[in-house]
Amino acid sequence: MSALLDIILPVFLIIGFGYAARKTNLILDSGVDGMMRFAQNFAIPCLLFRNMATLDIAANFEPGIFAAFYSGAFFCFIASGLLAFYAFKRAPEDSVAIGFCCLFSNSLLLGLPIMERAYGSAALAGNFTIIALHSPILYTAGIAAMEVVRARGTGLSPTALTTKIAKQIVRQPLVIGILLGLAWNLSGLPLFAVADGALQLMARAALPVALFGLGGILCQYRFGGDMRVIGMICALSLIVHPLITFTLGKAVGLNVDQLRSAVVTASMAPGVNAYLFANAYGVAKRVSASSVLLATALSILSIVVWLHILP
């Protein structure tokens, strides 16, 4: 328990620092926006590029780990979107953003450090395997759903809609970072020492800057909104997703390390990108920001439970 708190509480301290800095006007909204743009458009893509460029794809590719993790993710995405629309009477665009909160778990900010502390750095291969497809698959699903919803009644042809969705996806900096890293990996070229050093410097800045910026963002919104929707997001993200992943992982015969990586990643709260997605489209921003904060706090309990359940 103390080891988990050593990992999780520093995350909250950085978020709280960002919140306090914005609350006391030590940093303004424009500064917070600039930090989040730096993290999302430059630092995190560099982190993902380096991880993808150096990942041993052949040794770590396991279809079962994708089936277990992403089946749970997409079930929660669809279930939360439908519940938001039909049960909680949210607008279609809001419903997609709410669904995206349950789809995009915090695989980087929480998943990696918790796995490393709990099982050691040698156990992270499964995490990087999941992360390699995390942004491309999930952003594709989220952007496609949002663009389809926004295109209703506009008369946009299927071809034009598909082209628009494809353009939105390939413009995502996180997707660009992963795809470029994959291309470099497949080329067989090593990362040059100077370039690798620069990438590592950018990568080290990615997570603290994103966390600090999230604190500033949360200061812009009063916590709350539709607490029923926020509670649903927390339940699906912290309970249903890892439960589905654990059940399917056992069914497809994942080994111990793979099962740990899949379930621990699935048990994470919605990541910063859940808010960034809502913010990009200007919908459900308050619910998304509040869900990230509350689910991250509650994940302390869910992580402890899953670490006790896992072999």
The band of 225, judged by pLDDT with boundaries at 50, 70 and 90, is: low
The Cβ of residue 86 has, within 10 Å, a number of other Cβ atoms equal to 10
Query: Residue 1 carries which side chain, given as an amino acid letter?
Result: M
The band of 223, judged by pLDDT with boundaries at 50, 70 and 90, is: low
What is d(CA 10, CA 117) in angstroms, rounded to the nearest whole number?
Answer: 14
Give percent above pLDDT 90 in the chain: 40
Q: What is the pLDDT of residues 148-199, one digit of tens each?
A: 898 876 667 777 777 877 887 778 887 888 889 989 998 989 898 999 999 9
What is d(CA 64, CA 41) in angstroms, rounded to the nearest whole number?
Answer: 31
What is the tally of structural domains in the chain? 1
Domain CATH number, residue 260: 1.20.1530.20
- Residue range 54-80: mean pLDDT, rounded: 87
**0.95 cut: is pTM over it?**
no
So what's the pLDDT on residue 260? Answer: 94
Burial status of residue 30 (CB atoms within 10 A of its CB: 0-12, 13-18, 19 or more): exposed
Count Cα atoms within 13 angstroms, Cβ side, for 68: 31
- Residue range 80-96: mean pLDDT, rounded: 95
What is d(CA 43, CA 36) in angstroms, rounded to the nearest whole number?
Answer: 10
Inter-residue contact 50 to 205 (CB < 8 Å): no
Residue 2, pLDDT > 80, answer no
- Residue 151's domain spans which residues? 2-309
| Cβ-proximal residues to 164 (8 Å cutoff; 6+ apart), any chain | 147, 151, 156
Burial status of residue 98 (CB atoms within 10 A of its CB: 0-12, 13-18, 19 or more): buried
